[in-house]
Amino acid sequence: MTSSRRQFLSRAGAAVVVAGSVEALFAAQPAAGTSGPPAGYGPLLPDPAGILDLPRGFRYTILSREGTVRPDGLRVPSRFDGMGAFPGRREGARLVRNHECSPTSRIRVAAPPERTYDPAGAGGTSTLVIDRHGDPASEHVSLGGTAINCSGGRTPWHTWMTCEETEDKAGTNGYTRDHGFIFEVDPYDDRRNVDPTPLTAMGRFQHEAVAVDPHTGIVYETEDAFVAPLGSLYRFLPERPRGGWGSLRAGGELQALHVPGLPDLSVVQEAGEVFGGAEWMTVPDPLATTESVRAQDYRKPITGGYKIEGIWWGERDRCVYFVSSFARTELGPAMNHDGQVWKYDPRRRTLRLEVIFTRPTPAPENPEFDAPDNICMSPYGGLMMCEDGVGDAYMLGTTRDGEVFHFARNRVNNGTPEEPSYGELAGVGFSTDGRTMFFNVYDPGITFAVTGPWNRRHD
**CATH code: domain of residue 296:** 2.120.10.30
What is the domain count for the chain? 1
Q: Which pLDDT does position 211 carry in this prediction?
A: 98
The 10 Å CB-count burial string (b at 16+, else e) for 54-89 is: bbeebebbebbebeeeeeeeeebbbbbbbbbbbebe
Q: Which residues of the chain have pLDDT under 70?
A: 1-39, 400-402, 414-421, 457-459
- How far is Cα 163 from Cα 33, in angstroms, rounded to an integer? 32
- How far is Cα 175 from Cα 160, in angstroms, rounded to an integer? 24
Q: Which pLDDT does position 7 carry in this prediction?
A: 33
- How far is Cα 130 from Cα 212, in angstroms, rounded to an integer? 25
- Closest alpha carbon to 103 in 122, 130, 84, 80: 122
- Closest alpha carbon to 393 in 373, 377, 376, 375: 373
Residue 1 lies in a domain: no
Q: Which pLDDT does position 383 carry in this prediction?
A: 85
Residue 189 lies in a domain: yes
The H-assigned helical ranges of 317-409 are none
pLDDT in tens, 95-105: 999 999 999 99
Residue 47 lies in a domain: yes
Residue 436 lies in a domain: yes
Residue 2 lies in a domain: no
Q: Which pLDDT does position 364 carry in this prediction?
A: 72
Residue 315 lies in a domain: yes
- How far is Cα 423 from Cα 245, in angstroms, rounded to an integer? 34
Residue 456 lies in a domain: no
Residue 442 lies in a domain: yes
The answer to whether the CB of 157 falls within 8 A of the CB of 151 is: no
Question: What's the predicted TM-score (pTM) here?
Answer: 0.92
pLDDT in tens, 106-146: 999 999 999 999 999 999 999 999 999 999 999 999 999 99
Q: Which pLDDT does position 36 carry in this prediction?
A: 52
Integer angstrom CA distances of residue 413 from 419, 434, 444: 11, 29, 8
Q: Which pLDDT does position 37 carry in this prediction?
A: 58
Q: Which domain holds residue 285?
A: 7-413+421-451
Residue partners of 268: CB distance under 8 A and separation at least 6? 262, 340, 353, 356
